[in-house]
């Protein structure tokens, strides 16, 4: 067993931008390791993984359930699989942890808007497009479905409101009808928000005008009062 090429300890940050790529590679190397070790039983795989666990942690694990994915993972990753009782369940948990659901809508948008870059050869450009297509979830579907998908992609790509386009691109999947309904709802919400802001602006403007008018009226009244006072003073002086 010591002569076998063992994989490195799994120590991947699930928030890393390349977590999926690193996990996929590690999983393949570990599977190769298991095959080389002639380990076929699910229980044996888990036992093999637990062999390298910290003794303190190992004592906390139910030996009968043999939670052995601990063998090649760091303590943080172990917490995610500590309750798994089979190799299959443990690897499935790690799949969910490291492989994030990708947006088919965003992937197709990226593919359709990708242009050949300066200094990029035809071969390089085509290779990149093929790579981008992997997340697009292309399937063998009917002509009508293909048509709807193409219209949906063009609809999203051509939207003038970038905030609406961004919201649609956040969806993992969308039909043409769903894209249209979501866009209409967002457009209506934006229009209502703009109308509300405009109404408040008008109200504030009217309030300001009324305040100015009242202030002007008070100023005129004050001026009249001062004039009357001066007039009365002049009359009193004349009588003297």
- pLDDT tens for each residue of 14-47: 888 788 888 888 888 877 877 776 654 455 555 5
Q: What phi-psi label fits residue 73: left (phi over 0), alpha (psi between -120 and 50 degrees) or beta?
A: beta
Task: State the pLDDT confidence band at 180, using cuts at 50, 70 and 90.
Answer: very high
Domain boundaries, the chain: 18-98, 104-206
- pLDDT over 80 at 216, yes or no: no
CA-closest candidate to residue 61, choices 75, 30, 233, 134: 75
Q: What are phi and psi of 73, to 5 degrees?
A: -125, 155
Check residue 179 and give its pLDDT: 92
Positive or negative, the Cα torsion across 131, 132, 135, 137? negative
Query: pTM here?
Result: 0.49
CA angle 101, 103, 109 (to 5 degrees): 155
Task: State the pLDDT confidence band at 66, using cuts at 50, 70 and 90.
Answer: very low
């Amino acid at each position: 067993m010591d002569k076998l090429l063992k994989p490195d300890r799994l120590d991947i940050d699930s928030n890393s931008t390349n977590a999926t790529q690193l996990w996929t590679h590690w999983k393949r190397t570990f599977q190769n390791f298991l095959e080389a070790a002639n380990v076929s039983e699910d229980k044996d795989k888990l036992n093999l993984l637990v062999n390298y666990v910290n003794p303190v942690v190992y004592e906390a694990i139910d030996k009968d359930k043999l939670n052995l994915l601990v063998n090649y993972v760091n303590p943080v990753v172990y917490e995610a699989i500590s309750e798994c009782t089979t190799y299959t369940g443990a690897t499935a948990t790690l799949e969910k942890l490291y492989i994030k659901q990708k947006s088919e809508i965003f992937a197709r948008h990226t593919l359709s808007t990708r242009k050949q870059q300066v200094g990029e050869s035809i071969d390089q450009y085509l290779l990149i497009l093929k790579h981008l297509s992997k997340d697009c979830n292309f399937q063998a579907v009917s002509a009508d479905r293909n048509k709807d998908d193409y219209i949906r992609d063009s609809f999203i790509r051509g939207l003038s409101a970038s905030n609406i386009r961004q919201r649609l691109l956040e969806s993992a999947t969308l039909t043409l009808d769903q894209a249209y309904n979501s866009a209409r709802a967002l457009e209506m919400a934006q229009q209502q928000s703009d109308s509300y802001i405009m109404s408040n602006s008008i109200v504030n403007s009217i309030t300001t005008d009324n305040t100015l008018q009242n202030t002007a009226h008070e100023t005129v009244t004050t001026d009249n009062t001062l004039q009357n006072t001066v007039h009365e003073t002049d009359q009193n002086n004349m009588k003297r």
